[in-house]
């Protein structure tokens, strides 16, 4: 007889895994867990061993009976699961460093999830995610696939439209926004409600509530502490004029779209100062983290993990899992099939919206026309995403170029062609769908 949920984590050797295990332990009363299986590729085996040992010490410290095992056999690890969490990175941080630096050669922003960097990551990642989906289909699995792997919007859309499995895309930005508001207003996180809409890393809190009262204007005019940013995003204030003009609280990633010149200048200055791109800095943070993880006295998630941008992603993952597992309805912001939530986007588009999560999965709660102030940007980026998913699935270079031309962070068609050439050239081995074209 099962004594709790069975969870598989793909990319289990990630330095983020202790964050997830911490979340599982914090929510154990709501959702007992019987087994956690970490899966990685052989290159990640040593990191996975270190992370697994720390995770077992954390479980023991909290007095829980959870079996935590590791394997390199991904397909075997997908059998008899309630949840599968994707948190892997195809090509590792080295590939991320290339994604961030190729666009910068041609004057474009270098970021791993938006712009041309997100495009490159999607081309590498979508085929692997669809292989996992095929395995789950062949196994007749009833598991929910919770996807954190970036670019979450395009990966989720590929899963929804090119597989039959049950998938939900997750991100930690909305919960960080909610937490920042709760802290600034001195209330509990679950007393803050948000009507949320858009695409992953391109989304907005249109209305914000505290204990059911609409406080949107107060939040927009509040101290900037309420306007959260993450460890990995430049902390530039939105400014009263911008917030007054749009009347919504933007996801921190809008800084790349709206403060593009300044962000690019900062990125270039970092490169000139020898600081490298974010990937290079994350490599250094990771090296420190893995040293810390190996201390046998460490039995909890170390505070240094907050240097990564993924803070509190475990809260999102475990809240979604427990709402589904216990069929206990909960409102959360997730990436799901649009349906009729945002009528100006396609029915089968993946969108990031407030949703009701329960044993049946996630259904959008938010619906309505998008405000004109942001509708065009969202539609344009969705066109880019549609084309990118198609290019990732088919390996068609024309569609890939059309995708890049549609990205607002790619300055010209000439630059798009050069970036595409470099991405295809420098990702050899990771893009078999293109390489087969000859
Ligand atoms: C944020 C984003 C995640 C992203 C992370 C990167 O949390 O929401 O999608 O993966 O930042 O953080 P890193 O520390 O890897 O730069």
- Per residue in 320-332, pLDDT (tens digit) is 999 999 999 999 9
Distances (CA, A) of 332 to 17, 155, 352, 432: 22, 19, 10, 36
Give residue 398 CA to ligand 1 midpoint distance, Å. Answer: 30
Residue minimizing CA distance to atom 6 of ligand 1: 309
Cβ(233) to ligand 1 under 6 A? no
Cβ(308) to ligand 1 under 6 A? yes
For residue 436, the model assigns a pLDDT of 59
Give residue 20 CA to ligand 1 midpoint distance, Å. Answer: 14
Give residue 282 CA to ligand 1 midpoint distance, Å. Answer: 10
Which contiguous run of DSSP H or E holds residue 38? strand 33-39
Cβ(309) to ligand 1 under 6 A? yes
Domain boundaries defined on the chain: 5-170
For residue 311, the model assigns a pLDDT of 81
Measured from the Cα of 309, ligand 1's closest atom is: 12
What is the average pLDDT across 300-310?
A: 90
Q: Average pLDDT over the chain, rounded to whole? A: 95
- Per residue in 130-178, pLDDT (tens digit) is 999 999 999 999 999 999 999 999 999 999 999 999 999 999 999 999 9
| 253 catalytically annotated | yes
Give residue 310 CA to ligand 1 midpoint distance, Å. Answer: 5
For residue 437, the model assigns a pLDDT of 55
Give residue 177 CA to ligand 1 midpoint distance, Å. Answer: 14
What is the average pLDDT across 346-356?
A: 98
- Per residue in 16-57, pLDDT (tens digit) is 999 999 999 999 999 999 999 999 999 999 999 999 999 999
Cβ(150) to ligand 1 under 6 A? yes
Give residue 367 CA to ligand 1 midpoint distance, Å. Answer: 27
Annotate 141-187 with DSSP letters as a single string.
Answer: --PEEEE--SSHHHHHHHHHHH--SEEEE--SHHHHHHHHHHHHHT-
For residue 1, the model assigns a pLDDT of 62
Measured from the Cα of 173, ligand 1's closest atom is: 8
Q: What percent of the chain has pLDDT over 70?
A: 99
Identify the band that residue 237 occupies on the pLDDT scale cut at 50, 70 and 90: confident
What is the average pLDDT across 115-123?
A: 98
Site to probe by mutation for ligand 1, drawn from 19, 255, 309 as the one with most ligand atoms within 8 Å of Cβ, is 309
Cβ(316) to ligand 1 under 6 A? no
For residue 312, the model assigns a pLDDT of 87
What is the distance, to the nearest Å, from the Cα of residue 297 to the centroid of all Cα atoms in its chain?
Answer: 31
* Phi and psi, residue 367, nearest 5°: -150, 150
Q: With 60 as the cut, is the pLDDT of residue 438 above it?
A: no
Q: With 90 as the cut, is the pLDDT of residue 433 above it?
A: yes
pTM: 0.96
Identify the band that residue 231 occupies on the pLDDT scale cut at 50, 70 and 90: confident
Identify the band that residue 182 occupies on the pLDDT scale cut at 50, 70 and 90: very high
Find the catalytic residue in 16, 106, 209, 253: 253
Distance CA(228)–CA(180), nearest Å, equals: 6
What is the average pLDDT across 257-284?
A: 94
What is the average pLDDT across 269-293?
A: 95
Name the least confident of 8-12, 62-66, 231-235.
231-235
Cβ(149) to ligand 1 under 6 A? no
For residue 401, the model assigns a pLDDT of 98
Q: The domain 5-170 is classified under which CATH number: 3.50.50.60, 3.40.50.150, 3.40.50.720, 3.90.1150.10?
A: 3.40.50.720
């Amino acid at each position: 007889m099962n004594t709790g949920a069975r969870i598989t984590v793909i990319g289990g050797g990630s330095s983020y895994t202790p964050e997830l295990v911490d979340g599982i332990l914090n929510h154990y009363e709501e959702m007992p867990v019987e087994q956690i299986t970490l899966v990685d590729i052989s290159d990640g085996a040593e990191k996975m061993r270190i992370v697994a040992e720390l995770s077992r010490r954390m479980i023991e410290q909290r007095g829980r009976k959870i079996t935590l095992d590791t394997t390199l056999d991904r397909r075997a690890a997908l059998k008899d699961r309630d949840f599968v969490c994707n948190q892997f990175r195809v090509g590792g941080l080295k590939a991320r460093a290339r994604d961030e630096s190729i666009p910068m050669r041609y004057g474009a922003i270098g970021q791993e999830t938006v712009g041309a960097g997100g495009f490159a990551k999607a081309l590498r990642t979508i085929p692997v995610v669809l292989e996992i989906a095929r395995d789950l289909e062949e196994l007749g699995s009833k598991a929910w696939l919770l996807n954190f792997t970036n670019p979450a919007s395009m990966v989720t859309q590929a899963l929804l439209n090119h597989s039959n499995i049950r998938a939900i895309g997750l991100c930690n930005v909305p919960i960080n926004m909610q937490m920042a508001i709760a802290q600034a207003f001195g209330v509990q996180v679950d007393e803050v409600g948000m009507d949320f809409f858009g695409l992953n890393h391109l989304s907005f809190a249109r209305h914000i509530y505290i204990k059911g009262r609409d406080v949107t204007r107060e939040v927009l005019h509040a101290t900037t502490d309420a306007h959260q940013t993450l460890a990995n995003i430049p902390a530039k204030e939105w400014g009263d004029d911008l917030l007054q003009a749009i009347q919504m609280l933007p996801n921190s990633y809008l800084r790349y779209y709206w403060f593009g010149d300044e962000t690019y200048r900062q990125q270039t200055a970092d490169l000139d100062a020898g600081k490298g791109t974010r990937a290079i800095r994350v490599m250094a943070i990771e090296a420190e983290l893995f040293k810390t993880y190996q201390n046998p006295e460490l039995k909890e998630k170390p505070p240094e993990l907050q240097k990564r941008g993924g803070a509190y992603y475990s809260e999102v993952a475990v809240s979604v899992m427990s709402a589904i597992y216990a069929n206990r309805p909960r409102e959360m912001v997730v990436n799901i099939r649009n349906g009729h939530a945002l009528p100006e986007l396609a029915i089968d588009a993946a969108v990031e919206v407030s949703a009701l999560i329960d044993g049946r999965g996630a259904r959008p709660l938010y619906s309505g026309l998008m405000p004109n102030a942001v509708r065009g940007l969202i539609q344009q980026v969705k066109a880019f995403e549609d084309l990118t998913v198609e290019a990732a699935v088919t390996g068609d270079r024309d569609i890939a170029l059309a995708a890049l031309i549609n990205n607002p962070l790619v300055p010209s068609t000439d630059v798009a062609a050069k970036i595409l050439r470099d991405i295809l050239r420098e990702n050899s081995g990771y893009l078999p769908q293109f390489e087969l074209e000859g």
